[in-house]
Amino acid sequence: MKEYFKRLWCAIWASTDIDEKAAAALNEAKARLANVRKELADVKKAATTSTKKKKTGKKPYYKNKKKKTNNNNSKK
């Protein structure tokens, strides 16, 4: 009798879609976790690679100081 109820209990739980939804959620979580791991690996790779190029662009203000004069003596 005990085995009968045990099998019945397992059959009832096997027929519910709660287990199916939980299994689907678990699979989804595993897939997302794998994607997150890949993205973090890419971020780590991008952060650790050093750029050896010399920086180009506008120089800082203190290096670009020029003496300004007011020599606008244009004839009219």
Hey, is 27 helix, strand or coil? helix
- CB proximity list for 19: less than 8 A, separation 6 or greater: 13
Query: What is the Cα–Cα distance from 40 to 48, expressed in whole angstroms?
Result: 12
Average of per-residue pLDDT across 49-55: 68
| Per-residue pLDDT, 12 | 79
Residue 70 has pLDDT above 80, yes or no: no
Could you tell me the two tokens for 17? 């879609």
| Per-residue pLDDT, 32 | 95
| Per-residue pLDDT, 52 | 66
* Contact status, residue 13 vs residue 19, Cβ threshold 8 Å: yes
CA-wise closest residue to 19 among 7, 29, 10 = 10
Query: Phi and psi of 75, rounded to 5°?
Result: -85, 140
Q: What is the per-residue pLDDT across 7-49, written as a single tens digit (0 to 9) for each?
A: 888 887 777 677 777 888 889 999 999 999 999 999 988 888 7
Model-wide pTM > 0.95: no
